Structure formats: structure tokens, C-alpha cells
Amino acid sequence: MQRKRTLPPRRHAGFGFTSILLVLLVLAALYFGYLRPPSATNSGSVGTSAIDAGRSVACRTNRQTLERSITMWAIDHPQQQATVGALEAEGVHVPSCPEGGSYDIDGRQVRCSLHGP
């Protein structure tokens, strides 16, 4: 006698509530995170503000690098005031602001004419 092979009954038919909720959450995250249109109060586009923010971060990083170079330079020149010319004369690379600002050295702190300290 042959036994009939029976499959266990399906517990879930179609998409469950959790699956639909997960899809809606992903779509909402995409919309609000990436696909959101720029607001009417924003004068620039999202890409332009991201580029400006990147340049500001690059300027801050350049200033921090220059401050570290001044600290290292001051070890060899303890009685001298650090200037851009003195650093370049010693072979220290002096970076420039990505937006065209100029760096001023005040003691061991570097200030940018566009981005401040």
C-alpha cells in the first residue's frame, strides 16, 4: 500500500504585514534621504551645498595640517615667529584654501580669511 505524500499546510499566503511595513520604511528612507526635492527656502541646490561643505572641511583640514607643521617647525626654531615665508624656506608645504582664501598665522593658530579659525 502506497502512502500519499502530503505537504504541510502553508502558514502564510502572500505578503505579510511585516513585509509590507518594511518595504514602506525603505521607500520612506529613500524619499526623505536621497530623493527629496530641495526646499523652496534653500537658495542653492543640494549638490552645491555639499560641495561648499566639502571645501570648508578641506580648508579646516589644511589649517590643522599647517598648525601641526608649525608645531614641528617651532621645535627647531624656538625663538622665531612662524610665518608662511619661514615655513616655505624650510621646505614645509603650505597648503592653500580650496576657495581661494589666504591663511594668516597667529602664534601657532592658523586663520583663513574666508572660513575663520
What are the structural domain ranges in the chain? 52-117
Q: Cell numbers of 7, please?
A: 505537504
Count CB-CB contacts under 10 A for residue 82: 22
Segment 75-116, tens digit of pLDDT: 888 888 888 888 888 888 888 888 888 888 888 888 888 877
* Helical residues (DSSP H) of the chain, grouped into ranges: 17-30, 46-76, 84-89
Q: Considering the chain, what is the average pLDDT of its residues?
A: 80
Alpha-carbon distance 94 to 65, whole Å? Answer: 9
pTM of the model: 0.56
The pLDDT of residue 27 is above 60: yes
In the chain, % of residues over pLDDT 70: 78
The pLDDT of residue 47 is 61
